[in-house]
Structure 1
Amino acid sequence: MSHKPTITDSLQFPADSKVPRALFGVGAVGLIASIIGYFLDADQFFFSYLVSFVFFSGIALAALLMVMLHHITKSSWGVLFRRISETFISNIWIWAIFAIPVILGIHNLYHWSHEDAVMADKILKGKSAYLNTPFFIARQFIYFAIWGYLGYKLHKVSVEMDKTNDWGLTALLRKVSAPGIPLFALSVAFASFDWLMSLDPHWFSTMFGVYFFAISFQTFWPVMILLVFYMQRKGILKNTIRQVHIYDLGAWFFAFTVFYAYIAFSQFLLIYYANLPEETLWYFHRLEGSWKYIAYSLLIFRFAIPFLVLLNREAKKNRTILTIISILVLVIHFAEIYWIAMPVLFKHGIHFSWMDITAFLGLGGIFFGLFFNTFKKHDMVPKNDPKLDDCLSKSYHQ
């Protein structure tokens, strides 16, 4: 007779935890400091804000796709982690508020938003049907309406299953996820065009959407790993999430490190051998001056080191190694978004500002404050999911 696995840990995040309040406090201080910076240097403020906004938005969007893939494939391996992803996406409709400064700073960020510049530039005039202020604002509403609805619905139904034990709700989750995946793909691609690619309105890459997805999805796994390790150090889900589950996180981290390198290099190679001036100049400006040091760092710290380290089977479940590599990739991910955006403002080399730090702390504090504030209200594991037993009884493949 097979033994039915049971959960011995409490499924409730400590209700008296001061983590959300502390994070909201950090976020408030960071945002206030950044707002002060706006009056000192508006351009720097908006570019610093955009980099951090894209950084944290990418984590939530990767979580959204992960939840939908779980449902549509009926997978069991990640059931224990799914509530973490669901919590991230449950707050996307609130996170939409933080897109407002990007809209307000449109003239500081995007050259194409200036009518005189468009009238004097044949290329910009040809793109003006898409790159114009009213349509840009409308698209932001569309993106966050799609993401906000999907995130809220998937989280709400999953939590409802905890209370009702109605396995029929899994069919509803799949019905939401099936159209949600293509809607996600289109909306994220166009959002990446709007937020980052159109900073250089003459430049274009048909691969930029999947490139943005690749950098965001690779970063999602270090966030998951560090969150799980943080909780287990606090004694949360210590006996429920075992080494075999940690190995899965490490394996996904490794897989999307390879995927990131494939997509990033493919985009570079296509532009390199086509050798069209309007395409190559984007890389040219990011491979000159001090910007080239970030470019080379991406190759070393975002691909080579994580790839070589995580190639080893044992490394994928070694907590010390996973922690170090996760932190490394998160740092270099921020640097990559910075490298994409900031050469528009500082063409001749890297120019770090204190507002880069305050914007990151401000948005990061709010982002994770929202996460923990929601996370502690519900069970940390979808306890009535029909695939939970399979996940709990998972063992290594030898």
Structure 2
Amino acid sequence: MTHDFYAKSLARWQRAATSLAVVGTFLLLLLIPFSGGLSAFYQSYLFGYIFWVGLSLGCLALLMIQHLAGGPWGAMVRRFLEAGSANVVVMAVLFLPLLFGITSLYPWSDPAYLEAHPIVAAKTLYLNVPAFVTRSVIYFTTWIILALLFQRWSRRQDEGQDLAQHMRNAGALGIILYVATMTFAAFDWGMSLTPEWFSGMYGVIFMIGQALSAVALMILLLVAFRHVEPLATVFTPVRLQDFGNFLMAFTMFWAYVQASQLIILWSNNVVETNTWYVTRLATGWVWVSAFLLLFHFAVPFLILFSRWVKQKARALVWVAAWMLFMRLVDIYWIIVPTFNREGFALRLLDLVVVLALGGIWLSFFFARLKARSILPANDPRLQPELAGAAAHD
């Protein structure tokens, strides 16, 4: 299949995503007055936003890792990762509604709450609105600079400049900046919803979830366009297995950090740290916890243990799609119990926000993919495989 087929497919998907964004936004505005008002909207918006911004950041992290690690596997999905990471610009704009919802979402912004909770009051040097906004600006500025820098170098490499070493060096520094900024962003946007509670593993859980989401998306895109040249030339069952191995490894690491956090906090036997899990193991949420244990880890791990599954496109794509769904469930389980809903109270507003933000994210994503070739030109990691395939023909 030709690049023309690739571009037409992306244009069709972009139109569908734009329609989803428009319809989702309309339904969102329609539902807000009947779904608890702005307070409920901000809760649902935070849940949906964390998923979609996490997908962008997962793409950014994998983009830097593949430049740092090398290997043709990274070059195969570089265009997808560049398009996904560039969406941090869009997500920076979409962060603005959360700034208006700070006083509704975060109890530390309420003076009455601080007066009643001296432990939280002692943290106000960090937990205050100006500092929250300033740190968020720093996070997005860092991520946008990294994403745009790799975009710029990618275009210059397509034009014939040798910038592989520049991107490798920037990848090393970028990973450090990503880990630092994402750790504090997770503390600010998620952990401070329960300001008396704290966990050193919290940011790691978010980062591994972002990487897992990005790998799942890469598998879906690779399978969708596996017959498009020149991707078809370098796409093999072995390369697909590489991504299946990544998916399995990140799934294992997610389970490890989740279990580590639970064991550490529970063994502390301190009220301020145990209450977070008490809520999620109580009636209504305990079934979600069990569902995550089984279907975010145990079942996918057993399936991905099979080499056959990881080398079969149709089989692996179902696992990848399921893991994206489970990422939504996991984020819901992390964020929503904080708002003291009665049991597992999934609202229509939650789903509509995810769809509206997803339509916006995918629309920009497909537009960026459509504007460039499916594989990067002049990437030294791909040249031997493309040359070998040409010689074989």
Structure 1 stretch displaced more, 14-23 or 247-256: 14-23
Distance 1:287 1:233 in 2: 46
Superposition pairs of residues 289-304 of structure 1, within 5 angstroms: 289-304=283-298
- Residue 392 (structure 1) shift: 5.0
- Residue 188 (structure 1) shift: 0.5
Equivalent residue for 1:121, pick from 117, 120, 124 = 117
Q: How many percent identity over aligned positions?
A: 32
Structure whose residues are more often helix by fraction? 2
Deviation readout 1:36-91 (Å, 9 max, x if unpaired) = 33333222211111111111111111111111112223333321111110111123
Distance 2:316 2:150 in 1: 29
Give the aligned CA root-mean-square deviation in angstroms. 2.1
- Structure 2 gaps of 5+ residues are none
- Residue 230 (structure 1) shift: 2.4
Q: Retained in 2: the 8 A contact 1:63–1:88?
A: yes
Distance 1:277 1:334 in 2: 28
Deviation readout 1:2-29 (Å, 9 max, x if unpaired) = xxxxxx8538831582321221221122
Q: 1:306 to 1:19 in 2, by over 3 A?
A: same
Residue 172 of structure 2 is matched in structure 1 by 178
Equivalent residue for 1:364, pick from 345, 358, 362 = 358
Equivalent residue for 1:142, pick from 128, 135, 138 = 138
Q: Retained in 2: the 8 A contact 1:225–1:326?
A: yes
Residue 265 of structure 1 is matched in structure 2 by 259
Structure 1 stretch displaced more, 9-18 or 126-135: 9-18
Q: Retained in 1: the 8 A contact 2:233–2:386?
A: no
2:310 is aligned with 1:326: no
Q: Which runs of 4+ in 1 moved over 4 A?
A: 233-236, 390-395
The count of corresponding residues between Structure 1 and Structure 2 is 386
- Structure 1 gaps of 5+ residues are 1-7
Structure 1 stretch displaced more, 13-22 or 172-181: 13-22
Distance 1:67 1:386 in 2: 16
- Residue 319 (structure 1) shift: 2.2
Superposition pairs of residues 199-348 of structure 1, within 5 angstroms: 199-232=193-226, 237-348=231-342
**2:306 partner SS:** coil
2:9 is aligned with 1:13: no
Residue 3 of structure 1 is matched in structure 2 by none
The one-letter amino acid paired with 2:368 is T
- Residue 348 (structure 1) shift: 3.5
2:176 is aligned with 1:190: no
Superposition pairs of residues 39-78 of structure 1, within 5 angstroms: 39-40=33-34, 41=36, 42-78=38-74
- Residue 357 (structure 1) shift: 1.3
TM-score (norm 1): 0.92
Distance 1:165 1:205 in 2: 47
**1:18 partner SS:** helix
Q: Retained in 2: the 8 A contact 1:244–1:394?
A: no
Distance 2:268 2:224 in 1: 46
Q: 1:236 to 1:77 in 2, by over 3 A?
A: closer
Structure 1 stretch displaced more, 270-279 or 175-184: 175-184
Q: Retained in 1: the 8 A contact 2:6–2:228?
A: no
Residue 166 of structure 1 is matched in structure 2 by 161
Q: 1:220 to 1:205 in 2, by over 3 A?
A: same
- Residue 33 (structure 1) shift: 1.8
Q: Retained in 2: the 8 A contact 1:188–1:209?
A: yes
2:79 is aligned with 1:83: yes
- Residue 227 (structure 1) shift: 1.9
**1:77 partner SS:** helix
- Residue 324 (structure 1) shift: 2.2
Residue 103 of structure 2 is matched in structure 1 by 107
**1:128 partner SS:** coil
- Residue 238 (structure 1) shift: 4.0
